[in-house]
Amino acid sequence: MLLQTLLGFLCSVGALATENTTAQQSAVPLLLVSFDGFRADYLQRFPMPNLKLLYSQGVLVEQLNNVFITKTFPNHYSLVTGLYAESHGILASTMYDPVSHKHFNLTSDKDPMWWNQAEPLWITALDSGYKTAAMMWPGSDVVIGNRTPTHFLPYNSTVTFQQRLESVINWMLGHEKEQGVMFAALYWEEPDRSGHIFGPDNATAMAKALKEVDDNIGLLMSELKRTGLWGNVNILITSDHGMAQCSADRLIRLDDCLKSDNYTLVDLSAVTALIPLQDPEVVFALLNKCHAHMTAYLKKSIPDRLHYRDNERIQPIILIADEGWTIVQRGDLPRLGDHGYDNSLPSMHPFLAAAGPSFRQGYQLKSLQSVDVYPLMCHLLSVPPRRNNGTLTQARCLLAAESCGDVAMVTALVVGVLFILSTITGLFWLLRSRRSMGPRAFQRLQVDYDDDDDPLLE
């Protein structure tokens, strides 16, 4: 009887947990917006009334733990694929492929070869019958798997945010001849541009840049309300990386350690990639003791936690500068603000805010992995995700229909009740067995002798 009661209770509680974790509203359109270089703590340092209004009606992830290296192209591609850089192949802003012997940089990035190691959401969603759009998002104007988004525009810095937003809203609205898009991605280059020029510690310059960003968020909200989309679409606002303050007093010059004819330089930044032209061990030994604020790694020794080793485009030696230090070959400081550093640094972390019918209201989460954004978006769109490095475990806490706190409470309750009922059941059987034990009549032990079976010989 107790066992039946226990099973019945567990089934009913399990059903409640399942209801919380599997309930899903009908898919509504999703808009993903990235403000490049929006460091997480800008939210505390500068007034952002429009952004705060948005997440007060939705959710805020205070820090998004992004992928290494903390650069624009790798992280934007991670957001829409859910993959680490080593898995999607966009490893940096400047790359060399040893198989094809091709070079990649920001002005030569349209070759599908670089992007075809992964499939972004604007392609995957097409298979669910959706129309998709991307406004200047890295990689969105490239033919990936012989396809592009339904609508896209290549990057053009002269196109204003208002103009970009107008196109995206028109794509989402659709018209009598074409349904609106279900997934759209929109990119804006501030406050990254100002952060590079002035550095994140320049409060005056960054306040001006972030006021412009917040004004653009206000414009986004007002246009969505004007067109009737507000409250009928889910909106994710995030970024790719943060920004660190640099200084002419924090320079690491490679020429002080190694002659340039010993290597071919592939990328030069907070993370430097190079190909040794001499014995790699010898070149590495020289670089390893080059500077106290720079760590050299042979490819095979790059730490697992960086997820930056298992791709042929990762060069034989990489150099990682400490936060705020700049690696140059020779010469002066190129910029006052930079990124690309270790992704465990808070200064490299962006944020995430979201609002819409699928999200909770007034909820905040301390942190989330950036690769988790992709499975979250697939869940919102009811799109089967491609293989990825993310999980919904934490991200589902942001959703109105799936309160992870309730699930945790129910799980704890199940465990507690299971323990109590198991204890009661054990005591019941113990008492029953003691009752059945009483004085027993003497019985002679019957022993059958068998000459052919002597146990002492076994």
On the 0-12 / 13-18 / 19+ scale of CB atoms within 10 A, 48 is: buried
Catalytic residue among 21, 70, 72, 94: 72
Could you tell me how many helices (H) and strands (E) the chain has, helices first?
Answer: 13, 18
Contact between residue 339 and residue 243 where contact means Cβ atoms under 8 Å apart: yes
Query: For residues 374 and 80, is the Cβ–Cβ distance under 8 A?
Result: yes
Q: What is the DSSP letter of 265?
A: E
What's the CA angle centered on 238, arms 203 and 127, to 5 degrees? 160
Q: What angle do CA 183, 189, 193 make, to 5 degrees?
A: 165
Residue 387's closest CA among 374, 399, 398?
A: 374
Question: What token pair was written down for 102?
Answer: 């091709």
> CA 184, CA 220: separation in Å to the nearest integer?
13
Question: Cα(130)–Cα(383) distance, rounded to whole angstroms?
Answer: 9
Q: Residue 72 catalytic?
A: yes
Alpha-carbon distance of 265 to 329, in angstroms, equals: 9
- SS3 call for 127: helix
In whole angstroms, give the CA distance from residue 261 to residue 264: 8
Rounded distance between C-alpha atoms, residue 328 and residue 20, angstroms: 53
Contacts of 396 (CB under 8 A, 6+ apart): 21, 376, 379, 402, 404
Residues with active-site annotation: 72
